[in-house]
Amino acid sequence: MRGHASLLGTYVEGTSPLHRLPLWLKGLTVLVLSTSVLLVNTPVLTAGALTVTAAGYLVGARLKPIHLWRPLAPVWPMLVILGGYQVIVNGPEPALQLVGNITVCLLAARLLTLTTEGQLLLDGLVALAVPFRRLGADPERFGLTLALMTRSLPYLVGSVADVRDAARARGLERSPRALVIPVVIGAVAYAHQTGEALAARGLGEPREPGPPSAS
């Protein structure tokens, strides 16, 4: 199984200013940056946000330039298709803007995971859900669910690549069925296995009522 861990990125150890920044501040910055480029949607803001994000990687987090490319590598075909469609329908400027905005969101989100330890991220997600406890929410399960989502996306991207290679090896690269069906079946099997593994480790289980007994 090919693992596309680079889509959301695993934590890179460091002592840079961004590594030391509190999680809430980093999260808020990502939120503000992403929503502003999507809502305001002007070329100047997109270019500015791209510059700020790139500076965040290279200066703020002292990461190598390759880290800027890694999250884009698995999605560039989609960006090219989206951009191409926009060029035909709306012209080059909106196309560049759309691709730029998606790139800002992807890079900013990845910068957060690259500079924040997984467990700290999980603690932050759990803290985020604590106010909803009075409504019956279980913060630990909420955090675990989101952590699983960030882990599952790279796995599924890897699964698509594996299935595509397998279809190509059998000369079926033009058959959508040869791509879609194994990916869907694989995703369901993966979800089942992950659920079973979590249950086996007692993770995310609700508390049982009453004392345990052998009766």
Partner 1 sequence: MIVFEGAAVSVDGPVRQRQILEPVTLTLAERRIAVIGANGSGKSTLLKLINGLITPTAGRVVVEGLNTVNAGRAVRQRVGFVFTDPLSQLVMPTGREDVELSLRARVRRPADRRAAAISVLERFGLAPLADQSIYDLSGGERQLMALATVLAVNPDILVADEPTTLLDLRNERRVRSLFRTLDQQVVFTTHDLEFATDSDRVLVIDSGRLVFDGDPQQAIARYRSLHLDPDKLPGGDHR
Interface contacts to partner 1, rule CB under 8 A: 1-3, 5, 10-11, 13, 117-120, 122-123, 140, 147-148, 151, 154, 158, 190, 193-194, 196-203, 205, 207-208, 212-215
CB of 17 to partner 1, least distance (A): 20
Q: Take residue 77 and report the two structure tokens written for it.
A: 């075909």
Check if the beta carbon of residue 82 is closer than 8 Å to that of residue 97.
Answer: no
Kindly tell me which of 4 and 34 has the beta carbon lying closer to partner 1.
4
Q: Take residue 164 and report the two structure tokens written for it.
A: 């595509």
Check if the beta carbon of residue 167 is closer than 8 Å to that of residue 179.
Answer: yes
C-alpha dihedral sign at 164, 169, 173, 175:
negative
Kindly tell me which of 171 and 215 has the beta carbon lying closer to partner 1.
215
Find, among 16, 52, 18, the residue nearest to 34 by Cα. Answer: 52
DSSP conformational letter for 61: S
Q: How far is CA 84 from CA 43, 106, 137, 182, in A?
A: 17, 19, 43, 29
CB of 143 to partner 1, least distance (A): 9
Kindly tell me which of 119 and 175 has the beta carbon lying closer to partner 1.
119
CB of 185 to partner 1, least distance (A): 15
Kindly tell me which of 3 and 92 has the beta carbon lying closer to partner 1.
3
**How many other CB atoms sit within 10 Å of the CB of residue 41?**
13
Kindly tell me which of 100 and 143 has the beta carbon lying closer to partner 1.
143
Check if the beta carbon of residue 110 is closer than 8 Å to that of residue 71.
Answer: yes
Kindly tell me which of 171 and 202 has the beta carbon lying closer to partner 1.
202
